[in-house]
Amino acid sequence: MNLILWRHAEAEELPDPLSLSRNADLQRPLTQRGRKQADSSAVWLRAHLPADTRIICSPALRTRETAAALSSHPEVMADLAPGADVSAVLAAVGWPQGDENIVVVGHQPWIGRLVSLLLAGTEMNWSVRKSGIWWLTSRTRESEAQTVLRAVINPEFL
């Protein structure tokens, strides 16, 4: 299974009075810079993804807009919302049993925590840049389940 984690691109900040509103947070659009980041990342992904790749994203507007740079019809999953639990995200995408290719467009801090869990065996607050991509693959070698880091792509290098 290929699990490609793509953090949403740069989004508008919330004005202070609205900063506590979950609904306002879910409606933050990408900035002009964020749209450029999403487009650049999508170009790289298109060049490397298998044709049968599934694209899923959080219900937040910023993830839907990021995913739209790659697919006109990404699947929206409530389990991928801001503040999601890493185990709920893994269950939602079927890691590691699935044999499909999945791009998950989501949020910090759960993307960093998920990557650290899969690569280091414990949840830590790893930093993932906006519009950054972490490509992981699950495999079995000598009866041992393994997670392989295939790529880390930061938008400033695209």
- Per the CB < 8 A criterion, the answer to whether 25 and 14 are in contact is yes
Distance between CA atoms of 83 and 50, rounded to whole angstroms? 29
Q: What is the DSSP letter of 12?
A: P
Q: pLDDT tens digit string along 66-113? A: 999 999 999 999 999 999 999 999 999 999 887 789 999 999 999 999
Q: Is 143 left (phi over 0), alpha (psi -120 to 50) or beta?
A: left
pLDDT value of position 96: 87
Q: Is 111 helix (H, G, I), strand (E, B) or coil?
A: helix
pLDDT value of position 3: 97
Mean pLDDT computed over every residue of the chain: 93
Give 140's pLDDT tier (boundaries 50, 70, 90).
confident
- Please say if the pLDDT value at position 48 is more than 60: yes
- Per the CB < 8 A criterion, the answer to whether 6 and 112 are in contact is no
Superfamily of the domain at 2-157: Phosphoglycerate mutase-like (3.40.50.1240)
pLDDT average, residue stretch 26-31:
95
Fill in the amino acid letter for 52.
Answer: D
Q: Is 47 helix (H, G, I), strand (E, B) or coil?
A: helix
pLDDT value of position 19: 59
pLDDT average, residue stretch 22-43:
94
Hey, where are the domains in the chain? Answer: 2-157
- Residue 115 makes CB contacts below 8 A (sequence gap 6+) with 5, 126, 128, 134, 136
Instruction: Work out the end-to-end distance of the chain between its first and last CA atoms, rounded to an integer number of angstroms.
Output: 25
